[in-house]
Amino acid sequence: MNRIPLLTGLLPHNTLFWGQEGGQEQIAIYVPPRLWRTIAYERHYRLPMPGMVFLGQERQYTVFAVKQKPKTTETPLYHLPAPNVDGDGRICLGQAPFPTAGRDTIYDALKLFMEGSRFNHDNSRQRCVSFPDNTLDLWAKLDGQKRFPPEELVPARKQLKQLLG
């Protein structure tokens, strides 16, 4: 068994982990804090967002916020302050043409989620401290700001190791 070769090839920048089972890839990347151009209903935003862990497997994607780049599997996860993500971090794909997750597509899926999706009020509760009833109110407050305030993050009561399989 120890003679079966397993080579990943080049992995995308900031890959946290990668695996393959039955021909299906699972990959998670760290996304540093940055500004994103997002849309909710007809309003366009330029939002600072916290660092993220973005995970894909098949056509299912999961996202959580983090306060710093994960260095251990005990890294605490936080709810991403964005609507259209359920309490377990699963992204509602809606009608967006998300690709099958893999090394070559993970950044395309991330960009589609953050900048190609039209967000709405679905799953927008309990995603930030200041506006627990509607995360889009936080978006309105942060529109045009440069940094996301980490004190707004709501613990997801999960650690990175719980995403590993």
Say if residues 120 and 41 touch (Cβ distance below 8 Å): yes
pLDDT tens per residue across span 100-133: 999 999 999 999 999 999 999 888 899 999 999 9
Domain-embedded: residue 3: no
Domain-embedded: residue 8: no
Domain-embedded: residue 34: yes
Could you give the CA distance from residue 122 to residue 112 in angstroms, rounded to a whole number? 18
Domain-embedded: residue 4: no
Residue 42's DSSP bridge partners are none
Domain-embedded: residue 37: yes
The mean pLDDT value for 21-43 works out to: 93
Residue 8 has pLDDT above 80, yes or no: no
By three-state DSSP, how is residue 98 classified? Answer: coil
Rg (CA), the chain: 16
Please give the distance of CA 22 from its chain centroid, rounded to a whole number: 24
Task: Quote the tokens at residue 68.
Answer: 């710093």
Which range marks the domain in which residue 129 is found? 15-160
The pLDDT value recorded for residue 46 is 98
Domain-embedded: residue 9: no
Structural domain total, the chain:
1
Name the average pLDDT for the chain: 93
Domain-embedded: residue 114: yes
Domain-embedded: residue 10: no
pTM higher than 0.95 for the full model? no
Residue 91's DSSP bridge partners are 85
